[in-house]
Amino acid sequence: MKNIKPGLGIKLTKSTNIIRLLLIFAISFATMAILQPNIFLTKKYMVSMAFLFPEYGILALAMMLAMMSGGIDLSIVATANFSGIMAIKFLIRFCPPDAAGLTAALFLIAALVVAICVGALCGLLIGAFIGKLGIPPMLATLGGADLIMGASLIMTKGSSVGGIPRFVSAVGTKILFGFLPVTVLVYIACAVAIGFLLQKTPYGLKLRMMGSNPVASRFSGLDNDKIIFKTYMLSGMLSAVAGMLLISRANSARADYGASYVMQVIIVCVLGGVNPNGGFGTVGGVSIAILILQVLSSGFNMFPNISNFYRSIIWGAVLILVVIYNHISAKYRTKKLERAAAITASKSDKE
């Protein structure tokens, strides 16, 4: 029995998935570079792309966690906005507007902590809806999104909040050494943390087990409710970080920023090989998928005569095509496995 390696098949498909994604990335990058070399291949354009992707990249990580648990989190954008608003309210209330140096740094960290706590609370609330009340994740997060967005509307009375201390946007839009935006560092930190959680901790294993078969994981003694709570709390915390990036870029907060991100984030996850039925997904895959989407989206920006609305057609089409491709390849793989199983079965019969 020792020669059977159960992990091998999964590892192989994982690496082919990443290779495939890298290939798509290379092709889309090359296409854009050939079509508009004068705009696309400039340093300014590259930096602006790198500056933009972390915002929904972090949201995509949040969505990935929820999807891996077999659910979906449609409340990420609402949570991001709400925690951003709370952080700003905190700053306006306590921080002197002309703070600089150490006090500014301390207040920035405090605001980040406030945002993350608020995000974690939102996530816990949604986790309670799903785990304790048994509401299906899709509805719990949709209803929860209404609730959270409603709360931010009440906080802001429906208008946008300005008057943020200047250092927030100064740090958020800073570009280190002329090519490395701070936002990218934030994304890398989040991605590494989540990657570590998923690959090296018991929680990651439990999450994948529960995602692929909740009944089996419950009957093997795992506490599904606890995993759900943790997952949605993490997702809320990540959303809060994205919310901080959002307010630092926009230099104001509103209840309805980034409404179109939900769709893009789902596309990123599905493209990146996260199984919407739960159980599978890697930080690497999602990260490359984010880069692909950013290249395409910035690429379309170079053509002024392509209306923004065409983009939603393309996103939708990409989503459907990826789903179809995954379906066909999965079918092909199971057929191959079945054939292999049949061959070994007939061999052992002969013996």
Partner 1 sequence: MKKLLKKNEFYVSVVLILLIGVIQVKSGQFFTANNLVDLARSCILPVMLTLGVTMEIIARSIDVSFPAIAMLTMYTVTSVATKSGYTGPAWVLFLIAAVMGMILGTINGVLAAWLKLPTLIITLGTSSIYMGFLQGVLKCRVIAVMAEPLETLSTTYLLVATNRQNGLTSPLSILFLLMLGVVIVVWILMRYTMLGRGIYAFGGDPVSAERAGFNIKFIQIFVFAFMGALAGLGGMTRTVLTGSCQPTSLDGYEMVCIAAAVLGGTRLSGGVGSIKGSLLGVVLMMTVSNSLILLGIPTYASKFMTGILIIMGIGISSYQALRSKRKVSGNILEPDKSKQENPDAKELA
Residues lying near partner 1 in the complex (CB under 8 A): 72, 129, 133-136, 138-140, 142-151, 153-154, 157-158, 215, 218-219, 263, 266, 270, 276-277, 307-317, 319-320, 323-324, 327
| All residues at 6 or more sequence positions from 271 whose CB lies less than 8 Å from its CB, including other chains | 21, 289, 292, 293, 318, 319, 322
What distance in Å separates the CA atoms of residue 259 and residue 244, rounded to the nearest whole number?
16
Residue 149 or residue 288: which is nearer to partner 1 going by CB? Answer: 149
Which residue bears the tokens 């300005």? 162
Minimum separation from the CB atom of position 32 to partner 1 (A): 20
Minimum separation from the CB atom of position 144 to partner 1 (A): 7
Residue 202 or residue 221: which is nearer to partner 1 going by CB? Answer: 221
Coil, helix or strand at residue 69: coil
Residue 199 or residue 277: which is nearer to partner 1 going by CB? Answer: 277
Q: What is the largest CA-CA distance in the chain?
A: 84
Neighbours of 209 (CB within 10 A): 18
Neighbours of 263 (CB within 10 A): 13
Which residue bears the tokens 């609305």? 309
Residue 27 or residue 139: which is nearer to partner 1 going by CB? Answer: 139
Residue 80 or residue 184: which is nearer to partner 1 going by CB? Answer: 80
Minimum separation from the CB atom of position 134 to partner 1 (A): 3
Minimum separation from the CB atom of position 141 to partner 1 (A): 11
Structure-block tokens of residue 1 = 């029995």
Minimum separation from the CB atom of position 179 to partner 1 (A): 33
What distance in Å separates the CA atoms of residue 259 and residue 236, rounded to the nearest whole number?
16
